[in-house]
Each structure stands twice: as C-alpha cells, then as structure tokens.
Amino acid sequence: MKRQYLIIAADFWADLGKRFVSLTLFDLLIFKEGDCLSNLLWMSAVEQAPSILLSPFAGLLVDRIGPDRCLAGTLVCKCLLVAALILSILPKAVIAIYLLFICTSLLFTIARLTIIPLLVPGNRLISFNALNERVAIAGAVISPFIVGWTITQIGKRAALGIAGLIFLIAICAVVMLQRNAAVLESEPIPNSKPQNRRNWFSSYRVIFNNNYNLGIYFIMLGFVLLGGGILNFSLPLLFKDRFGGDISQWGFLMSLYQAGAFLSTLLLRWSAAFCLRRALIVCFFTLSAAMAVLGKFTPPFQLSWLMILFGCGFTFMYVLFESLIQKNSPAPHAGKILSALMVLRGTCYLGGILGSVLVLKLLDTGSLLLVGALLMLAASMLVKASGFARHSNLVNS
C-alpha cells in the first residue's frame, strides 16, 4: 500500500475515534445537564485553548522529532486517555482528561499536515487533500447518527471502549508507514545555540515576509473560521430551543452536514477549472444568505438542506486554504507554519464563541446568526473589492 493511503487510513480511523469521544461527552454535558449554555462554553474553550496556547510549541516539536513519530505517539496517548475517561467518575476529571485528549489531537493534526507535502507532489496537493477529506467524510456522513444511536443503546462507557479500539486500528496504519527520504530531509539539523523569544518570533515573521501569499491565505481563512465558530456555537442552542431534539436527532443533522462536506470534496477535485476569486465570492455570499435564513424560523425540512449547504461551503473553503498554505510552506519550517494555522483556527473559533456569548447576553440565537451572515457578507465584499487573486486559479495559486 502506498504511504499516502496509509496516512488517509490513519486519519480516517483517528477522526472516527475522536467522534465517539466528543459526541459521548457532548451528550453528557449538553443534553443531559441543565446549564446547556455554560457547559457548551466550557467544552468549546477546552477544545480551542490548546490550539491557541500550545500550537507554536507543538509545531517546533513536530519539526524536531519528525511527523511520523508524532503520529504514532499521539495515537498511543489517545488510547490511554480513552481508558482514563472510562474509569473517570467526577465531571472535573472528565474535563481535565478531555483537555489532554484535545492536546494530543492537536499534535496529531500538525504532524499529519506536515508529513503530507513530503509525500505528495505540490501539483497534486489539493486533489490529495480532497481525496483525504472524501474518505474521512464518507464514514462521517453516517457516523454521527451511528455514534448517537450507540450511546443510547449500550451506554457511554461502551461507546468510549469502541473509540479505544478504533485508535488501535489507527496505530496499526501509522506503524506500517515506513520512513522515506522525503521525511528524513524534513528533519532539521539540531542547533546547539538556544533561541531566545525574540529570535523565535522573528523566524515566523521572516517566513511570512518571504511569502506574501501566506499572509493573504491566513486572513481569508480567518473569516471562514470566525463564521464557522458562530455557526457551531449557535446550532446546538437553536436545535435544543426550537426542536428539543435528542442526541440521535442531532447526530442525523451532523450527518447531513458531513454529506455537504463530502460534496465539497468533489468540487475540489475539479478545482483547476475555477477562478479562485470568483469561487470565494460565491461561497462567502451563499453562506451569508444561508445563515440569514437560518436566523429566522426554520422548519426541520429546510434545516436539513441548510446543513448540507453549510457543510459544503465551509469545508470547501477550509480545505482550499489549508492546501494553499501547505503548498506555500517551506519544508524545513512546515511545522512552524502549520502550527500558526492551528493558532489561527483556535483563536478564530474561540473568538467567534466568546463574541457569540456576548451577543446572546443582549439578543437571541436568531440575531447571532444574522451577525454571522453579515460577517460572511463582509468577507465576500472584501474579496471583490480587493481584487484578491483576480487572475489566479486554484492550482496555480
């Protein structure tokens, strides 16, 4: 089996195991507890804080010890943490263990993003990432519903046990991934001189100054992440307040979201035919309109179609910008740049969540979604007014 496909397999099983863990805790803290807003805020903070605070150090660690070793080590840690969750009783202990679980997931993500450009040629990077997402989403389309049903049938501890077995399968895929010349070349030569904080930040500044496109891609991705953070925070509240559904119904909606995400990977496959600027304007404007509609009264049938649209739009733009950032990242500094990507993701998601809490203190969930719609509309107008990538297509950018 080709090494690229082993990476896809490891990512697929790791993502599936993470869904079992996150949905189990989501059911415990959101649907089974009374203070839904407070628990949702705590869970969101735990999920995003490591990306903001630890990503720069995680990127340096991946660059130093190699992404393949990080992949195997983080999966082993996940198995141990799942076992700890099964044995945990106190809610505070569960939150602490989940925080460590998110930290290991952060390292796994940076290592996976770092190793892919070393195994895949640059002109095939977007299509490969589309294939990776397509494989992951193919299982994720039905996995939220299956996980929700599993939790209601066999209980939370049994569902976590299944997650541990899934992580063991992912470990097998990573172990089969043998080191090759490209990965060896990515390992830096040890530096005996310790870097001070000023030189550490200067190294990031030099990388971005030498590649102007990187800064543009990070800015546009920030809009995508802010909109996604507002949507991810408002949807559970909207679902509980308007429909009063349970975890299995929520899993069905998440499956529809993943179906839309799967559709976006098919669009990325033919991305060479798209004009980057035009594609971004259409995506931002469409998402703006969809969030505005969701902010008003939405019957269940209409909500189902909107979930597909959200999954398609947000996934298309996230994978696109992630691929362009990977493609423009120098191999010796890939861990640093991709750790900056994780910082951006965590900061924007958490910023969107905290801003959402502030809006909810003054207004309702529908008004919060209208704020998200205005943000997406502003991003669309910014792309159009700036002439961003006017003459670029998705392959040559």
- Band (pLDDT 50/70/90 cuts) for residue 391 is very low
User: Would you call 275 helix, strand, or coil by DSSP?
Assistant: strand
Closest CA to 148 of 278, 32, 268: 32
Cα Rg of the chain, angstroms: 20
Which single residue is written with the structure tokens 């600027």?
277
The rounded percent of the chain whose pLDDT value lies above 90 is 7
From the centroid of its chain, how far is CA 66? 22
Per the rule left: phi > 0, alpha: psi between -120 and 50, beta: everything else, 35 is beta
Residue 183: the pLDDT is 45
Label each residue of 327-363 as H, E or C. HCCCHHHHHHHHHHHHHHHHHHHHHHHHHHHHHHHHC
**Residue 313 near residue 223, CB atoms below 8 Å:** no
Q: Which two tokens mark 325?
A: 């950032």
Residue 178's contacts (CB-CB under 8 Å, 6 or more residues apart) are: 3
Query: How large is the average pLDDT for residues 169-184?
Result: 68
With 90 as the cut, is the pLDDT of residue 106 above it? Answer: no
User: pLDDT at position 202, please?
Assistant: 61
Whole-number pLDDT of residue 78 = 92
Residue 142 predicted with pLDDT over 60 = yes
Sorted by where each begins, the domain ranges of the chain are 3-184+205-386
The least confident of 7-16, 98-107, 184-193 is 184-193
CA distances from 387 to 34, 61, 178, 317 (A): 49, 38, 44, 18
Average pLDDT, the chain: 77
Lowest-pLDDT range of 44-58, 70-84, 372-386: 44-58
Can you give the length of the chain in residues? 397
Contacts of 189 (CB under 8 A, 6+ apart): none
- Does residue 386 carry a pLDDT above 50? yes
Query: What are phi and psi for residue 275, nearest 5 degrees?
Result: -85, 125
Q: Is the dihedral of CA 24, 29, 34, 35 positive or negative?
A: negative
Q: What is the pLDDT of residues 28-66, one digit of tens each?
A: 666 655 556 666 667 777 777 787 788 777 777 887 777
Q: What is the average per-residue pLDDT within 298-311?
A: 80
Lowest mean pLDDT among 43-52, 64-73, 94-103: 43-52
Are 394 and 278 in contact by the 8 Å Cβ rule? The answer is no
Per CATH, the homologous superfamily of domain 3-184+205-386 is MFS general substrate transporter like domains (1.20.1250.20)
Identify the weakest region by mean pLDDT among 47-56, 140-149, 213-222.
140-149
Residue 218, pLDDT > 80, answer yes
pLDDT of residue 397: 46
Longest C-alpha distance within the chain, in Å?
Answer: 63
Most confident of 33-42, 71-80, 232-241, 358-367: 71-80
Please provide residue 393's backbone torsions phi and psi, each rounded to the nearest 5 degrees.
-115, 175
**For residue 143, is pLDDT > 80?**
no
Write b or e for each residue in 206-244: b if 16 or more Cβ atoms lie within 10 A of its Cβ, otherwise e.
ebeeebeebebbbebbbbbbbbbbbbbbbbbbbbbeeee
pLDDT per residue as tens digits for the range 251-261: 778 778 888 88
CB 151 within 8 A of CB 249: no
Helix ranges (DSSP H) in the chain: 3-26, 36-65, 67-87, 91-119, 125-140, 143-154, 156-175, 181-186, 197-209, 212-242, 247-269, 276-295, 300-327, 334-362, 365-386
Instruction: Extract the tokens encoding 144.
Output: 């939220």
Cα separation, 69 vs 173, in Å, equals: 13
Tell me the pLDDT tens digit for each residue of 6-30. Answer: 888 888 888 888 888 888 877 766 6
Residue 189 or 388, more confident: 388
pLDDT at 219: 84
pLDDT, residue 395, reads: 47
Please, which residues bridge with residue 26 across strands?
A: none
pLDDT at position 191 is: 44
pLDDT at 20: 85
Q: Does position 194 have pLDDT exceeding 50, yes or no?
A: no
**pLDDT at 297 exceeding the cut of 70:** no
pLDDT digits (tens, 9 = 90+) for 113-133: 888 887 777 667 777 887 887
Instruction: Report residue 173 as tokens.
Output: 């895929």
